[in-house]
């Protein structure tokens, strides 16, 4: 199985072989896919935003987080 880096190198090599106009077209398509994925993510975030509202007390959560940070779980160092 090829590593991600090996696949990336093969793709770059193939892109280098393409004429300039085709390179531009491929890069535009990649940008299109990125923006499409970004839009999908934004839609999902908008649908789920605020879904946790009134399920937890934010002040209590912050208090618990900070108090848990004070608890040491490491063993003491012995010299």
In a domain, residue 25? The reply is: yes
How confident is the model over 7-13, as a mean pLDDT? 88
In a domain, residue 37? The reply is: yes
In a domain, residue 54? The reply is: no
Look at the chain and report how many structural domains it folds into: 1
Asked if 15 and 26 count as a contact pair (C-beta separation under 8 A), the reply is: yes
In a domain, residue 1? The reply is: no
Instruction: Measure the CA–CA gap between 65 and 18, rounded to whole angstroms.
Output: 54
Per-residue pLDDT, 63: 94
pLDDT grade, residue 57 (50/70/90)? Answer: confident
pLDDT grade, residue 30 (50/70/90)? Answer: confident
In a domain, residue 43? The reply is: yes
In a domain, residue 31? The reply is: yes
Per-residue pLDDT, 65: 93
- CA distances 73 to 35, 54, 76, Å, are 44, 32, 9
Tell me how many degrees the CA angle 44-50-54 measures, rounded to the nearest 5: 150
Domain range for 37 = 7-48
**pTM score:** 0.42
Per-residue pLDDT, 32: 87
């Amino acid at each position: 199985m090829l590593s991600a880096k090996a696949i990336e190198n093969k793709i770059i090599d193939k892109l280098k072989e393409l004429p300039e106009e085709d390179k531009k077209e491929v890069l535009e398509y990649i940008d299109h896919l990125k923006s499409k994925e970004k839009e999908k993510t934004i839609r999902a975030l908008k649908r789920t935003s605020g879904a946790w509202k009134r399920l937890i007390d934010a002040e209590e959560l912050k208090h618990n987080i900070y108090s848990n940070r004070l608890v040491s779980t490491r063993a003491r160092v012995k010299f």
